[in-house]
Amino acid sequence: GVWCDTYWLPEPDLIDLRDGATVNAGCVVQTHLFHDRVLSMDTVTIAEGGTLGPNSVVLPAARIGRSATVGPVSLVMRGESVPDRTRWMGNPVGPWVDEPAPRHTLDPDAD
């Protein structure tokens, strides 16, 4: 029941994709980083029903919660946890805030 539309899974044995998880096209599920010439590795978990939006990146030790969504072109930093049933986006991710719909009118003189 997992939808995985990317091939950027460097160490697949460190990736935990639970039932109903979605990893969209162009995503990078990164399980290793180099810092000062030292390699560190950790797991990445996308819980049941979690979604990683197109062209997003998730770094080691991160977790996307159950039925949580990370929007397109977003970055989940190392060790971050996206809470269950929430929506996040940005680089780095922050709460996804819906902008109010623009007010349209046919009367150009209306306020």
Residue that has been written with the tokens 């950790």 in this structure: 42
What is the full per-residue pLDDT of the chain (111 aa) written as tens digits? 999 999 999 999 999 999 999 999 999 999 999 999 999 999 999 999 999 999 999 999 999 999 999 999 999 999 999 999 999 999 999 999 887 777 766 656 655
Angle of CA points 71, 67, 74, to nearest 5° = 15
pLDDT of residue 100: 76
pTM, to two decimals? 0.85
pLDDT of residue 97: 87
pLDDT of residue 84: 98
Domains in the chain, start-ordered, CATH in brackets? 3-84 (2.160.10.10)
Closest CA to 11 of 40, 39, 37, 41: 41
Strands (E), 13-109: 15-17, 22-23, 28-29, 32-35, 38-41, 44-46, 51-52, 57-58, 63-64, 69-70, 75-76, 81-82, 87-89, 94-95
pLDDT of residue 74: 98
pLDDT of residue 98: 82
